[in-house]
Structure 1
Amino acid sequence: MYHRVVAAKVRQAFAEISKGNWEAMVTGMAPEFTYRFYGDHALSGERHTHEALRRWWERCFRLMPNTQFVVQDVLVAGWPWDTRIATAVTVDVGLVDGTRYQNVVHQMLRMRWGKMTEVRTLEDTAVLARALDRLAAAGYEEAHAAPITDEVAV
């Protein structure tokens, strides 16, 4: 039963983000956490503070407003004090330059007593880099900005 509840909460979190409500995801992070998005691009990097994570989500939605996430799979293992979650999620968005971006996002998450302590996000970074290149070429300089981390307030 616990695993079903967690899976439902994960699905609901993606539904809320699709509505533009990413703040609920930020407040769902534990006081100490790691949020890592793999790659070498404007959305990559590692964050450990709620402020850096907010700045990251703000950038995501400036570059990719109205992003829609559709959860394909949620796998849950463990207990409330050490829960592991794996997701496969499709992402689809009309970019601000008029093109479309579609990809599959895979995440590995850890949760402790209802708060996320770790999020590792991996998607096809070549597809993402091409979309960011198109945005930069269309005049959206932030698409080639340095990653947002705790140390870099960009």
Structure 2
Amino acid sequence: MYHRFVAGKVRQAFAEISAGNWEAMVAGMAPKFTYRFYGDHALSGERHTHEALRRWWERCFRLLPETRFEVRDVLVAGWPWHTKVATAVTVDVGLADGTRYQNVVHQFLTMRWGKITEVRTLEDTAVLERTLDRLAAAGIEEAHAAPITDEVPAAA
């Protein structure tokens, strides 16, 4: 029963993000957490603060507006004090240049008492990097920006 409840909450979180409410996901993070997106591009990096995670989601939706997630699989193991979750999710985005960005995302989460303490996100980075390169070539400089981390950006 607990595993089914957690799987439902994960599916609901992706539905919220698809509806543009990524703040619900940020609110689900524990006070101390690690959010890691693998790769070497504008969306990669590691964050440990709610503020950095908010800035990251804001960038995601500037670069990939109207992102839609379709959850394929949610696997849950463990108990409330140490829960592991694995997901397979497809992502589909209509881009400003008229093309589509489609990829498969795998996330591995650790939860403790209903709060997420760790997220590791793996996506086909070659597909993502080609998309970011196209956006940068179209004049969207942020597509080649440095990853967002916990460091506060310097004033320009």
TM-score tier, shorter chain, comes to over 0.9
RMSD, matched Cα: 0.9
Q: Deviations over 1:79-104 (max 9, x none)?
A: 00000000000000001232110000
Structure 2, gaps ≥5 residues long: none
Instruction: Tell me by how many angstroms 1:152 deviates.
Output: 5.0
Within the alignment, does 1:84 sit opposite 2:84 as a pair? Answer: yes
Instruction: Tell me by how many angstroms 1:153 deviates.
Output: 2.7
Contact 1:63 1:96 in 2 (8 A): no
Identity of aligned residues (%): 86
Structure 1, gaps ≥5 residues long: none
Q: Distance in 1 between matches of 2:135 and 2:97?
A: 6
Within the alignment, does 1:51 sit opposite 2:51 as a pair? Answer: yes
Match of 1:130 in 2: 130
Contact 1:16 1:22 in 2 (8 A): yes
Alpha carbons of structure 1 residues 86 and 103: separation in structure 2 relative to 1, 3 Å? same
Contact 1:52 1:153 in 2 (8 A): no
TM-score by length of 2: 0.97
* Equivalences, count: 154
Q: Distance in 1 between matches of 2:152 and 2:106?
A: 25
Alignment of 1:1-154 (within 5 A): 1-153=1-153
After TM superposition, the runs of 4+ consecutive aligned structure 1 residues lying more than 6 A away are none
